[in-house]
Amino acid sequence: MEHDRRTALITGSAKGLGKMTALQLADQGYNLVINYVHSEREAEELSGLIRAKGAECLAVQGSVARPEDRERLVKEAADRFGTIDVLINNAGPFIRERRLFREYGGDEITELMQGNLLGVMHLDHLVIPMMRRRQWGRIIHFGFGHASEARGWPHRAVYAAAKVGLVSFTKTLAVEEAASGITVNMICPGDIRGDNKERMIHEVEHILDDESPRGRPGTGEDIARVIAFLCQERSDFLTGNIVDVSGGLDPIRAMIPRTAGSAGKADISK
């Protein structure tokens, strides 16, 4: 176990954007704590890749929507590595089916708010004392494109409300913790779908995406490289920012039908 290396905890990191970020930070010299809910096999495979890069890795099962899981996640990470220097709040439940607000169940509203706002705040609250002791820390939140504008997003009322609330929290926490050497920023990925979440830019740069103003699909590397930059030692003057990494795409495209009831399936992914 290497305590001289900094440690990054990434929620929801067995697959997708979290996985790509973990690999990027391992290359940058971090030990990793990865987190998963059901993807145990993928988490173990990722742990092997990280260790092959010379970094230590701990995989912890748990849902960010459950307070007891969040507390256990932080405790196991601190017990193993002594501290948490970087917290990347990548995980967050998302209901892909388009629904009007009145069609949500109360338990679904609670889970979305716990996983996307309250759980993030709780995790930040748990790790900030460790960061303050070392006078250094990096906290990354995840949002959606144009979240900082607080626009309405039909069929995404609860998810959007949680993330827009997180925008304000990001900016507030950045100011409050700046003197402690802790930066707090939000990354807002574009419409990065399916296998592209685990691809490198060179794998898609010649693929045409008609919906993207940039002209190509987004990838996990697009997100991971921005996060890695924000986590660098000399990135301490960058805090309180809401960074769209979207290729110029505006994700809020849903239309309300004139007929009552559900509006079908979503055409974008988180």
Name which of 43-47, 177-181, 207-211 the model is least confident about.
Answer: 207-211
Q: What is the mean pLDDT of residues 81-92?
A: 96
Strand, helix or coil at 115?
Answer: helix
- The span from the CA of 118 to the CA of 245, in Å, is 24
The amino acid sitting at 96 is R
- Report the mean per-residue pLDDT for the chain: 91
Q: What is the mean pLDDT of residues 67-75?
A: 96
pLDDT bin (cut points 50, 70, 90) of residue 211 is confident
Q: What b/e sequence results for 87-120 when a residue is b if at least 16 CB atoms lie within 10 Å of its CB, and e otherwise? A: bbbbbbbebeebbeeeeeeeeeeebbbbbbbbbb
Strand, helix or coil at 189?
Answer: strand
Q: What is the pLDDT of residue 269?
A: 37
**Between 213 and 243, the higher pLDDT residue:** 243
- Residue in the structure block whose two tokens are 């890069």: 53
Q: Is the pLDDT of residue 80 over 50?
A: yes
Q: What is the pLDDT of residue 256?
A: 58
| Contact status, residue 36 vs residue 114, Cβ threshold 8 Å | no
Structure pTM? 0.90
Q: What is the mean pLDDT of residues 9-36?
A: 96
- The span from the CA of 90 to the CA of 226, in Å, is 14
pLDDT digits (tens, 9 = 90+) for 98-121: 999 999 999 999 999 999 999 999
Q: What is the pLDDT of residue 262?
A: 47
- The span from the CA of 24 to the CA of 21, in Å, is 5
Retrieve residue 233's tokens: 């030692």
- The span from the CA of 135 to the CA of 214, in Å, is 39
Burial of 168: CB neighbours in 10 Å, binned 0-12, 13-18, 19+: exposed
Q: What is the pLDDT of residue 252?
A: 75
Q: Is the pLDDT of residue 224 over 50?
A: yes
- Residue in the structure block whose two tokens are 């900094």: 6
Q: Domains of the chain (ranges plus CATH)?
A: 7-244 (3.40.50.720)
Q: Is the pLDDT of residue 201 over 50?
A: yes
User: Would you give the DSSP letter of residue 24?
Assistant: H
Percent of the chain at pLDDT > 70 equals: 92
Q: What is the mean pLDDT of residues 20-24?
A: 97
Q: Is the pLDDT of residue 253 over 80?
A: no
- The span from the CA of 223 to the CA of 225, in Å, is 6
Q: Is the pLDDT of residue 168 over 60?
A: yes
- The span from the CA of 135 to the CA of 137, in Å, is 7
